[in-house]
Amino acid sequence: MQTAIIVGGNFAGITTALELKRKGGKEFRVIVIDRSSQFVFMPSLVWVPFKRREIKDITLSRVEILTRHDVEFVLAEAQQVDPNAQIVKTSAGNFNYDQLVICTGPKVNYNIAPGVAEFTHYIGTPSGAMKTRQSLEEFKKNPGPVVIGATQSAGCMGAGYEFLFNFEKWCREQKIRDKVDIHWITPEHYLGHFGMDGMTGGQTLFKTFFKLFNMHVHTEVAIDKVDAENVYLNDGTVLPYKFSMLMPQFIGDDFVSNSPELKATPTGFIPVGNDYRHPDFPNIWAAGIAVSFPIPWHAGKVPFVAPKTGFPSDITGKVVAENIMRVLKGKELKQKYWGDIPALCIMDAGKKEVLIVGNRLFKPRAIAIMMPNLLYDFSKVLFEKYFLWKTKKGYAFFP
């Protein structure tokens, strides 16, 4: 029996574990190591500040899901890997492995500019979403100018756009919109770039949205610093604010940076081939946000990167599980460059939505559609319900 350890248990990790156990059966002892026993559906955190969701509504027990499918769960912090001895060191002791899959997700670089950590909000964690909710309750008592967006080197602009449109709608519902001047700041070349070089019609669509909702735009800007009253941009613009939410840079988890043999990139992501296998250690794999991959477009004046969302994380987890089985059977490995994964996204726009569909994440694309639904965000809601259902049941093989 082979022992496969998966470090990290969110989108990529839970998919890899369930698929590997389903495909490998009694051939594999599968262990998931994570510092939290809870699986959180991160895309819905954008609704928590506006009381459209509670954290419990989008949270599942990793322990229940995994143990039901004969996957072991270890509640611990993975600290380091010794790839030569094939040992994962954790806060709960050391674990030997035959195959290791790193699905550690991101660490947030709050120190991307002075003051970002102290004075702005971030909705990408349950605690951050709840702190944002509390701040909005205070903000509506004394509304004023707002700065929302993404910092330099960010790669998750989509969540920033979602928060922006939900915030604008919330202001109208609270009857304070006329007192709130909204500024959107982004390192993107243009609105709707999303770190994937845009989609057909996207730039025009987003320009229309921003004009319709009377919001100010600052593209290709970086943050020099933030203090208690102002956001200072690198082009000399000073934006006063009463509330700010920014999507910062993602960097690799400490587990990766504490393991120098992995030869991670300067930002802490793992070099792999299109089979998601480490070039130096054939029994080490990576999936999801932990993966480093080449980007075919170039940033302009300000650096930013490609998005690493739930759908590619799910796909790469399945590729890794399949390839581990192929290694054992002596078969050729499956190749799936990150940029060849379809671009499938539903962007919430404040009880409206934009459906983004492309046959490839990066250009060139044979299919590229960005279609607004101005009536309701039923697709986003439906996807949330579907994904939570399939995850709870352990149906990782479902699309």
pLDDT, tens only, 104-146: 999 999 999 999 999 999 999 999 999 999 999 999 999 999 9
Closest CA to 312 of 367, 361, 355, 276: 361
pLDDT digits (tens, 9 = 90+) for 210-256: 999 999 999 999 999 999 999 999 999 999 999 999 999 999 999 99
The reported pLDDT for the residue numbered 351 is 86
For CA atoms 392, 125, 253, 251, the dihedral sign is positive
3-state DSSP of 285-306:
EECHHHEECCCCCCCCCCCCCC
**322 near 334, Cβ under 8 Å?**
yes
pLDDT digits (tens, 9 = 90+) for 351-380: 889 999 999 999 999 999 988 888 888 999
Hey, what are 211's tokens?
């004009």
Query: Tell me: domain 2-107+251-340, CATH 3.50.50.60, correct?
Result: yes
Which 3 state secondary structure label does DSSP give 262? helix
The confidence band for 11, taking pLDDT boundaries of 50, 70 and 90, is very high
Give me the pLDDT at residue 249, please: 97
Q: Which two tokens stand for residue 251?
A: 């960097």
Q: pLDDT tens digit string along 19-45?
A: 999 999 999 999 999 999 999 999 999
Q: Domains of the chain: which residue ranges?
A: 2-107+251-340, 108-249
pLDDT of residue 375: 81
Q: Is 157 exposed, middle or buried (0-12, 13-18, 19+ CB in 10 A)?
A: buried
- pLDDT at residue 200 tops 90: no
pTM over 0.85, yes/no: yes
Q: Which fold has domain 108-249?
A: FAD/NAD(P)-binding domain (3.50.50)
pLDDT of residue 252: 97
- The count of other CB atoms within 10 Å of the CB of residue 211 is 10
pLDDT for 374: 80
Q: How many CB atoms lie within 10 A of CB 380?
A: 25
With cut-offs at 50, 70 and 90, classify the pLDDT of residue 84: very high
By DSSP bridging, strand 38-40 and strand 99-102 are: unpaired
2-107+251-340 against 108-249: fold identical = yes
pLDDT tens string 15-25: 999 999 999 99
Q: What is the mean pLDDT of residues 257-278?
A: 97
| Beta-bridge partners for 101 | 6, 285
**pLDDT-derived band of residue 64, with 50, 70 and 90 as boundaries?**
very high
pLDDT at 160: 97
Query: Residue 323: what residue type?
Result: N
Burial 65-99 (b: 16+ CB within 10 A, else e): bbeeeebbbbbbbbebbebeebbbbbeeeebebeb
Kindly state the DSSP code that residue 58 receives in the 8-state scheme: G
- Nearest Cα to 120, choosing from 153, 156, 147? 147
Judging by beta carbons within 10 Å of its beta carbon (0-12, 13-18, 19+), is residue 373 exposed, middle or buried?
middle
Please report, for the chain, how many H helices and E strands are present, in that order: 9, 24
Q: CB neighbours of 363 closer than 8 A, spacing ≥ 6?
A: 197, 296, 297
**3-state DSSP percent of the chain in helix, strand and coil, to 5:** 35, 25, 40
